[in-house]
Amino acid sequence: MIKVTVWNEYVHEIAEEEVGKVYPEGIHGAIASFLRTNEDMEVRTATLKGGELTEELLNDTDVILWWGHMAHNEVPDELAEKIRARVNEGMGFIALHSAHHSKPFKKLMGTSCNLRWSENNQHERVWNVCPSHPITRGIGEFIDIPQDEMYGEYFDIPAPDELLFITWHKSGEVFRSGCTFKRGNGKIFYFQPGHETYPIFYNEAVQKVLTNAVRWAAPVDVDPEFVTCKHTASLEEL
Amino acid sequence: MIKVTVWNEYVHEIAEEEVGKVYPEGIHGAIASFLRTNEDMEVRTATLKGGELTEELLNDTDVILWWGHMAHNEVPDELAEKIRARVNEGMGFIALHSAHHSKPFKKLMGTSCNLRWSENNQHERVWNVCPSHPITRGIGEFIDIPQDEMYGEYFDIPAPDELLFITWHKSGEVFRSGCTFKRGNGKIFYFQPGHETYPIFYNEAVQKVLTNAVRWAAPVDVDPEFVTCKHTASLEEL
Amino acid sequence: MIKVTVWNEYVHEIAEEEVGKVYPEGIHGAIASFLRTNEDMEVRTATLKGGELTEELLNDTDVILWWGHMAHNEVPDELAEKIRARVNEGMGFIALHSAHHSKPFKKLMGTSCNLRWSENNQHERVWNVCPSHPITRGIGEFIDIPQDEMYGEYFDIPAPDELLFITWHKSGEVFRSGCTFKRGNGKIFYFQPGHETYPIFYNEAVQKVLTNAVRWAAPVDVDPEFVTCKHTASLEEL
Amino acid sequence: MIKVTVWNEYVHEIAEEEVGKVYPEGIHGAIASFLRTNEDMEVRTATLKGGELTEELLNDTDVILWWGHMAHNEVPDELAEKIRARVNEGMGFIALHSAHHSKPFKKLMGTSCNLRWSENNQHERVWNVCPSHPITRGIGEFIDIPQDEMYGEYFDIPAPDELLFITWHKSGEVFRSGCTFKRGNGKIFYFQPGHETYPIFYNEAVQKVLTNAVRWAAPVDVDPEFVTCKHTASLEEL
């Protein structure tokens, strides 16, 4: 059983009527809903303003999905650092769309995570460039998304360990939109589609990507001791 | 002309007689001394306690070499963050030996940078596993270092962009000892040999590695704007 | 159900009494025997001289393990090319020990796959440098192997997609001993331990690595059409 | 002085009037012409039908640029294998446009190198996604090419060591259009723009990319012995 936590700042849905209509249960609710159809996942949610991400919940989480945008700064530095450390110990971290600028993601990357953007609401096509990866299983050649916010290069991230998707935007940009990273015992997946004003998390292919990603990011049974600093005076003589 | 700054905490050399004998001008002095023999480099030094690393000097630096160990915590968080940002803009960063736990390096990596260690003072052999790289130019198959502190795996860093050296330790460990990373416009090189109690920075092959690394890490003429966040409403229609 | 084929040239075991004693059923027999204890695997074997690797069997194989050494040249070029093409379509390929010089592996790598070697029969220690990977699941920090042939750097392979293991040899060498590569729809794993004169394939940790590797290399359900050359006049207008 | 050889099959320019008008001296002539303006390069050309690529010339070449398309099969297998081996020893190889299907490139990659294509003659935009690389020096954010053949994903190559450019096509596709690979002592760069019917090799930014690439791919002074198979009985005892 994979213990999944879906975290969402849950601000747009309340403050903006347009967003609330698209995601009446919040983005976290929509994501939790399709993940819960998988028998190998136990799914909980947490938000900024209610049902907080406690240390207890964090320690009991195998994989966390993170959606944030306008309230990045309301996430305490201490929590962001705890999340970074939990990933290092083995927790999976899936950063969605504008989570590129979230505190935990930036701490994990070590870069500005800046990008080019425009709310031009145009067609995007998400190309699968790594067919043998567990996350692209069953996805086919591309995913068409009729409308989304445009995220384009240069995306200031470390070179991903694996590049799974590249997005084409009608307006002339491209974007490394599906990227994996390993940090210590933990696995990280960044996925670009998912602006709050469009029903992207109801898209079946997007749901399949995220379902695959949760399974991929679930920790293998690694001892957290693995990543500690060790004095090895006690190693046997060879 | 590459503007090089050699930073060293400069604590061991003063506090410990043994170290002071090996590096009477400090580790920074020894490194600056051989780098200065290159006509394409202008070399300055900075330390914790005198000849500080000012913001002015940092902004005027193309490549910084960093040696720190017992005084990592005396480097202010703000300075560490400025260094991280300067690397993102294009400054090269060369982390030496125990700089694996320095604040700027950890911020750039996003991991604990923990490792296995022992002051067992044994023979190590640094194998060149990337012969076509500018940093391994002229190095040959391996560098023998008669005595060094042992640094072993698991080394908790992101998978390096390029793995250039792997160290063999007589005591049974291995270590990814020469690693490159790109972060934004900047290049990073981590190199493991260099414990303060041994004359490792006088080793000719080590000097060649570091000289090569400075040239490799020197910024290409990239606009710092490249890594900023850009709204692109103004892109021409296609 | 993963359809596994264990291929072994099966020459040393017959020609050399010493090897025959270690592997009375052949190296393929020993490997098939522990893989068959897994309920999700259907395991068949093939060798050079009997129970050949037919095109029919190859087309019905999800993952092939390959052990060869003195008879590399007896594998027909056409078969090697078919295997390369099958990997491209999605078949997993696990190259064991001296299979570094096998025809299919060299075709997949595009390099000489040369390395340093010595039959010095010394202690080796295989360090796990990628704890979050499915192949290193349950392995811990290292595997000790009391005696093996020495394989050392420089190992002339492309930089692996993922470096999972590095071997330490008592005699002073290191080796990138566990490497993954993706080629088209297919996954490749090279694993160094396994000289024919030592009972290395009876080692429990080695068996766990190979069991994990079979599961990792099993094809996801990708359409073989994915890797074909496509004229796209028929793509809808955007 | 970098010894550069520009190889071109030189068939389209003679057989098709339209192409001959664009490249009256052949594609090789156009490329040699701008490379010759660099004082650190000595440039020669070779083609299929005259001024052949002899073994002597190949052995005297530091970096080769390769343009081929309809006559890939007229390149002898033995020559392709010699080129592969020369790259392994240290020669740089720059594969241009349709050279993705050339024999030497396919041998170096180990994959089908298939891709999606269409002669739709539309606008393409080549985005720089690796600003700190020597090959992207001075290139800025993107290169606009008014008309080119479309090459799209899935491009069946090994994951590149470094991804430098991604091309956006007006018709809805993306392409990993600037890729580096290391093979043994040698460096490889694949660059997608360059269909024979368009004056792409007269584009200043394209010329800058290729000039940078020649310098990057020039061999460092590595002993060809580095990549040979070595028996190491003679290593000193440790």
- The predicted pLDDT at position A233 comes to 56
Q: Which residues of A touch C221 (CB under 8 A)?
A: 137-138
ipTM confidence = 0.94
Query: Residue A234's pLDDT band (boundaries 50, 70, 90)?
Result: very low
Q: Report the residue of chain D nearest C156, measured CA to CA.
A: D184
- Tokens 């927790």 belong to residue: A91
Q: What is the 3-state secondary structure (H, E, C) of D80-139?
A: HHHHHHHHHHCCEEEEEHHHHHCHHHHHHHCCCCCCEEEEEEEEEEEEECCCCCHHHCCC
**Looking at chain C, which subunits does it touch, using at least 3 CB pairs closer than 8 Å as the criterion?**
A, B, D
Q: Rounded CA gap, B56 and C222, in Å? A: 55
Higher pLDDT, residue A30 or C122: A30
Q: Rounded CA gap, C178 and C96, in Å? A: 10
Contact B131 D184 (CB under 8 A): yes
Mutate to test the interface with B, among D124, D132, D225 (most CBs of B within 10 A): D132
Query: Residue C94's pLDDT band (boundaries 50, 70, 90)?
Result: very high
Report whether pLDDT(A238) > 70.
no
Predicted confidence (pLDDT) per residue in B146-180, tens digit: 999 999 999 999 999 999 999 999 999 999 999 99
- D216 contacts: CB under 8 Å, gap ≥ 6: D92, D133, D134, D135, D180, D187, D189
- The predicted pLDDT at position A228 comes to 85
Query: Residue B20's pLDDT band (boundaries 50, 70, 90)?
Result: very high
Q: Rounded CA gap, A166 and A124, in Å? A: 10
Sign of CA dihedral C22, C25, C30, C33: negative
Cβ contacts below 8 Å, chain C against chain D, sum to 110
Question: Per 3-state DSSP, what percentage of chain B is helix, strand, and coil (rounded to 5)?
Answer: 30, 30, 35
Report whether pLDDT(A221) > 80.
no
Q: Report the residue of chain C nearest B174, measured CA to CA.
A: C168
C158 touching B, CB under 8 A?
no
Mutate to test the interface with B, among C136, C168, C179 (most CBs of B within 10 A): C168
Q: Rounded CA gap, B73 and A50, in Å? A: 37
A228 touching B, CB under 8 A?
yes
Mutate to test the interface with C, among D103, D173, D182, D230 (most CBs of C within 10 A): D230
Report whether pLDDT(A236) > 60.
no
Distance (Å) from the C-alpha of residue D161 to the closest C-alpha of chain B? 8
Question: Per 3-state DSSP, what percentage of chain D is helix, strand, and coil (rounded to 5)?
Answer: 30, 30, 35
Contact B182 D130 (CB under 8 A): yes
| Contact yes or no for B186/C160 (Cβ under 8 A) | no
Q: Rounded CA gap, B188 and B65, in Å? A: 10
Q: Report the residue of chain C nearest A169, measured CA to CA.
A: C238
- The predicted pLDDT at position A149 comes to 92
Mutate to test the interface with C, among A220, A221, A226, A232 (most CBs of C within 10 A): A220
Report whether pLDDT(C133) > 50.
yes
Predicted confidence (pLDDT) per residue in B202-227, tens digit: 999 999 999 999 999 999 877 778 88
What integer is the mean pLDDT of C198-212? 98
C171 touching A, CB under 8 A?
no
Distance from the first to the final alpha carbon of chain C: 41
Share of chain D above pLDDT 90, in %: 89
Distance (Å) from the C-alpha of residue A145 to the closest C-alpha of chain D? 12
Q: Which residues of A touch B229 (CB under 8 A)?
A: 112, 114-117
Question: Per 3-state DSSP, what percentage of chain A is helix, strand, and coil (rounded to 5)?
Answer: 30, 30, 35
- The predicted pLDDT at position B220 comes to 84
- The predicted pLDDT at position C236 comes to 47
Please tell me the least confidently modeled range out of A206-215, C114-123, C163-172. Answer: C114-123
Query: Residue B233's pLDDT band (boundaries 50, 70, 90)?
Result: low
What integer is the mean pLDDT of C188-214? 97
Distance (Å) from the C-alpha of residue C232 to the closest C-alpha of chain D? 6
Contact C184 A130 (CB under 8 A): no
Share of chain B above pLDDT 90, in %: 89
D132 touching A, CB under 8 A?
no
Contact C153 B129 (CB under 8 A): yes
Report whether pLDDT(A132) > 70.
yes
Report whether pLDDT(A37) > 80.
yes
Predicted confidence (pLDDT) per residue in B25-73, tens digit: 999 999 999 999 999 999 999 999 878 999 999 999 999 999 999 999 9
What integer is the mean pLDDT of A72-84? 96
Sign of CA dihedral A193, A196, A197, A200: positive
Predicted confidence (pLDDT) per residue in C49-66, tens digit: 878 999 999 999 999 999
Contact D140 B223 (CB under 8 A): yes
| Contact yes or no for B27/B85 (Cβ under 8 A) | no
- The predicted pLDDT at position D233 comes to 57
Report whether pLDDT(A109) > 50.
yes
Q: What is the pTM of this model?
A: 0.96
Q: What is the mean pLDDT of chain C?
A: 94
Distance from the first to the final alpha carbon of chain B: 41
- The predicted pLDDT at position B50 comes to 77
Low-confidence ranges of chain D (pLDDT < 70): 232-238
Contact D220 B133 (CB under 8 A): yes
